[in-house]
Amino acid sequence: MRGRLVTGNWKMHGNRSANASLLDGVLAGMTDLAGIECAVCVPFPYLAETAARVASSKLGLGAQTLSEHESGAYTGEVSAGMLADMGCRYVLVGHSERRALFGETDGQVAAKFAAAQRSGITPILCVGETLAEREASRTRDVVFRQVDAVLEACGAASFAKAVLAYEPVWAIGTGRTASSEQAQEVHAFLRSRIADRDSGTAANLRILYGGSVKPGNAAEIFAMEDVDGGLIGGASLVAGDFLAICRAGASPR
Ligand code: 13P
């Protein structure tokens, strides 16, 4: 059975002192957590300090984006090799904020996914539709287009070393969560899309849900058959909330 994963995404929040108390709180509460993998995706400047703090713990480290290039004259960019060097296990790829605010294309997202894997980092590929797309009944087309770009560039077998995250744009930071049925429906579509090409990889692929996951709704969402954990924004900035969500993921299916 697929093990669950709960990953925090701090986005562009935090500072050294706030991060220290947040991590202290999370690490203290993690000692009795079994049966769940937890990680945090932190802003680049805090990777080194976070890596040192989580080194002797079970909390995994991730980054929020990366360059598709390996090295060279790309001022301001950070390569997969650098993230691996800092101890990152995960990197978010194609988060909707990257797509919408920084113009990342499906092709570029696929190139970043490949770059992460070349450096031994597990990409967490984020897909999701906007409210207008959902209302136009285009959810499936949109998430398939986003996944297909990676399937075509990297092949279905590449998903054996990747995580998928369904994050409906209309549920991110809005307090409006997809119902557990809505999440399950899209997760099942996504798994079937991979299964069409490689059923073994699809069966083992972890598909996370993200979008206003809170301690009060995590258990219900995580109970769905094709939901294998969560990608947590706002609630990952509060140690008690993040831990409560991790605990919800730790309960047996
Ligand atoms: P919220 O949990 O704040 O809605 O953010 C979700 C998200 O974008 C995680 O990547």
pLDDT digits (tens, 9 = 90+) for 148-168: 999 999 999 999 999 999 999
Residue 222 is which amino acid?
Answer: F
Q: What is the pLDDT of residue 245?
A: 98
Would you list the domain boundaries of the chain? 5-250
Residue nearest to atom 5 of ligand 1 (CA): 233
pLDDT digits (tens, 9 = 90+) for 105-157: 999 999 999 999 999 999 999 999 999 999 999 999 999 999 999 999 999 99
Can you tell me the distance from the alpha carbon of 209 to that of 221, in angstroms, rounded to the nearest whole number?
A: 8
Q: Does ligand 1 come within 6 angstroms of the Cβ of 210?
A: yes
Give residue 177 CA to ligand 1 midpoint distance, Å: 10
Give the whole-number percent of the chain exceeding pLDDT 70: 100
Can you tell me the distance from the alpha carbon of 110 to that of 63, in angstroms, rounded to the nearest whole number?
A: 17
What is residue 123's DSSP assignment?
E
Q: Does ligand 1 come within 6 angstroms of the Cβ of 233?
A: yes
- Catalytic positions, please? 95, 167
Strand partners, 91: 63, 123
**Unique residue bearing structure tokens 């984006």:** 65
Residues 6+ apart with CB under 8 A from 241: 214, 215, 235
CATH superfamily, domain 5-250, is Aldolase class I (3.20.20.70)
Residue of 213, 221, 246 to mutate, ligand 1, most atoms within 8 A of C-beta = 213
Whether the predicted pLDDT of 69 surpasses 80: yes
Whether the predicted pLDDT of 99 surpasses 90: yes
H-type alpha helices, 12-167: 16-30, 47-54, 80-85, 96-102, 106-118, 131-135, 139-154
Q: Does ligand 1 come within 6 angstroms of the Cβ of 164?
A: no
Residue of 172, 176, 212, 221 to mutate, ligand 1, most atoms within 8 A of C-beta = 172
What is residue 223's DSSP assignment?
T
Q: Where are the beta strands (DSSP E) in the chain?
A: 5-9, 37-41, 60-63, 90-93, 122-127, 163-166, 206-210, 229-232
Q: What is the pLDDT of residue 251?
A: 83
- pTM: predicted TM-score of the whole model, two decimal places: 0.98
Give residue 84 CA to ligand 1 midpoint distance, Å: 24
Q: How far is CA 220 from the centre of its chain?
A: 19
What is residue 210's DSSP assignment?
E
Mean pLDDT of 56-62: 97
pLDDT digits (tens, 9 = 90+) for 192-248: 999 999 999 999 999 999 999 999 999 999 999 999 999 999 999 999 999 999 999
